[in-house]
Structure 1
Amino acid sequence: MNIAGKHALVTGGGTGIGLAIARALAAEGALVTVTGRRQSKLDEAAQTEGLFGQVIDVMDERSVVDGIASAVAARGPVQICVPNAGIAEGRPLHKTDMDFWRTMMATNLDGAFLTIRESLTSMRETDWGRVIAISSIAGVKGLRGAPCYSASKHGLIGLIKGLAADYLGKPYTFNALCPAYVDTDIVPQNIARIMQRTGMSEDEAHAVMDGANPHGRLIAPQEVAEAALWLCGAHSGSINGQAIQIAGGEM
């Protein structure tokens, strides 16, 4: 792997999976722009050497266009693009209004589309590039209780596969990582919802979350980050158009 000096851009990079990937890339010498809506989280992330915060709201086209242009002006063409920003929330379809649906799609799918489009503008001027979208196990199977979320993540994989087909033979690859339940800041929120809904204790609710993955534990963000590094490796050029499951044996 030789990504030293290459510019990587990670949306939603201030916390969770995004931050783990950003730090892993920076540890290999990449210059990493981490984006998000909260300046405080970006300031915390930027304390890691090689990470640079940039406020971008992926739901706002102008914010994405201007923000990525600013990052490119500061650190050069984006050669590693990680559309990670997203929201994960379940809701039965009969209780879903148009605002919920549009917010889900605008963040998880439109945001990825805009991020990749603007990153490709500079990436296509270089001789190497990687787009690594963070989808979900919900992108390859239906997730019970979350049809809208599942649809957004399926759409993201479709976008990646279409791009891989468009750029066959070019020095750029397009892949999606599809983790199951990851140990991020959203886990305590989910545990609280389980406790409220069922009357379980915190330990019991945590066991439910662990059991949601086939191997009986939550996935560490670093496990997803290592997969992203692998896709940036010296011999990764033949891995293209894939939805790679990081799901503890999910079938």
Structure 2
Amino acid sequence: MTARAAHAIVTGAGRGIGAAIAARLAAEGFAVHLAGRTAAALEAQAAELRAGGHAEVHCHALDVTDAAQVEQLFTRLDALCAAPAVVVNNAGISGSVPFHRMEHAHWQSMFSVNVDGVFHVCRAAVPRMREAGYGRIVNVASTAGLKGYAYVAAYVSAKHAVIGLTRALALECARSGITVNAVCPGFADTDMTAETVRNIVDKTGRTESEALAELTAGNPQGRLVQPGEVADAVAWLAGEGAGAVTGQSIAVAGGEVTP
């Protein structure tokens, strides 16, 4: 870091993996911008970071599916920095529906947040990073972007799209000082996974422990991934030492997905 902190944007920063990533980047010395739909959650995370000694933390309530709101965020940042050094696209949603019962609205909602949101943020970030000659973009995808899972066809398809965008954009930006990578967590210890467990319980009558065992069975380590473990991978990709790493999709999943 220089004397003046470089700026990092994290979407979906109000909880779970996004909050862990924001905290990790703040610890690395970045001025961190927390973006998400729920202002109260962002402010709570910001207060926690400031209490920990991280003074330069900013909150931005927005919907990443709205291109105008995303551009407004970057316009506000233009006054603070030539370009954000790091952009982490973490905002996302999931949902389980058997394909034969799936309605287009469900399919569309998965793509609107998980794919369009990444597109809007990258479209705003890349021109600014090109002008600065430097940037690190990290897209938080999922092991669902690297393999298939039953009953989440829309989510799997959306996360595969994020991986495709990551690979294509990395090639376009390769000579501009910008790297573009993805991290792909398996089932993580987050509110999203807790909601998945509740859905399994409600739909199958299994106990919470049985539902959790089903989710962790695919992880050779037999456990949920911790948000901090994903944040560590993001911090490495965001650092100077990962300058030759681009277009990669790194699984953080206890060996569930291997090359």
TM more than 0.5: yes
Per the alignment, in what secondary structure is the counterpart of residue 131 of structure 2? coil
Equivalence for 2:252: 246
Measure how far apart 1:5 and its partner are: 0.8
Deviates more, 1:222-231 or 1:118-127: 118-127
Equivalence for 2:100: 94
Listed as ranges, the matches of 1:1-251 within 5 Å are 5-47=5-47, 48=49, 49=54, 50-251=56-257
C-alpha separation between the residues in 2 aligned to 1:61 and 1:169?
26
Measure how far apart 1:62 and its partner are: 1.1
Per-residue displacement from partner, 1:155-200 (whole Å, max 9, x unpaired)? 1111111111112222110101011101101222222222222222
Deviates more, 1:172-181 or 1:208-217: 208-217
C-alpha separation between the residues in 1 aligned to 2:228 and 2:78?
27
Residue 10 of structure 1 contacts residue 82 of structure 1 at CA under 8 Å; is this kept in 2? yes
C-alpha separation between the residues in 2 aligned to 1:69 and 1:219?
35
Residue 15 of structure 2 contacts residue 41 of structure 2 at CA under 8 Å; is this kept in 1? yes
Deviates more, 1:49-58 or 1:192-201: 192-201
Change beyond 3 A, Cα 1:22–1:141: same
Change beyond 3 A, Cα 1:4–1:203: farther
**Stretches of structure 1 lacking an aligned partner (at least 5 in a row):** none
Residue 33 of structure 2 contacts residue 58 of structure 2 at CA under 8 Å; is this kept in 1? yes
Question: One-letter code of the match for 1:172?
Answer: I
C-alpha separation between the residues in 2 aligned to 1:39 and 1:249?
36
Measure how far apart 1:76 and its partner are: 4.6
Question: One-letter code of the match for 1:161?
Answer: R
C-alpha separation between the residues in 2 aligned to 1:182 and 1:71?
31
Deviates more, 1:68-77 or 1:171-180: 68-77
TM-score by length of 2: 0.91
Structure 1's consecutive aligned runs of 4 or more residues displaced over 4 angstroms after TM superposition are: 1-4
Change beyond 3 A, Cα 1:210–1:250: closer
Deviates more, 1:189-198 or 1:146-155: 189-198
- Give RMSD over aligned pairs: 1.7
Residue 178 of structure 1 contacts residue 245 of structure 1 at CA under 8 Å; is this kept in 2? yes
**Stretches of structure 2 lacking an aligned partner (at least 5 in a row):** none
Question: One-letter code of the match for 2:84?
Answer: V
Q: Aligned residue pairs: how many? A: 251
Residue 25 of structure 2 contacts residue 235 of structure 2 at CA under 8 Å; is this kept in 1? yes
Of all paired residues, the percent bearing the same amino acid is 38
TM-score by length of 1: 0.94
Measure how far apart 1:203 and its partner are: 2.5
Change beyond 3 A, Cα 1:136–1:66: same
C-alpha separation between the residues in 2 aligned to 1:225 and 1:78?
18
Per-residue displacement from partner, 1:82-115 (whole Å, max 9, x unpaired)? 1110101121222111111111111000100000
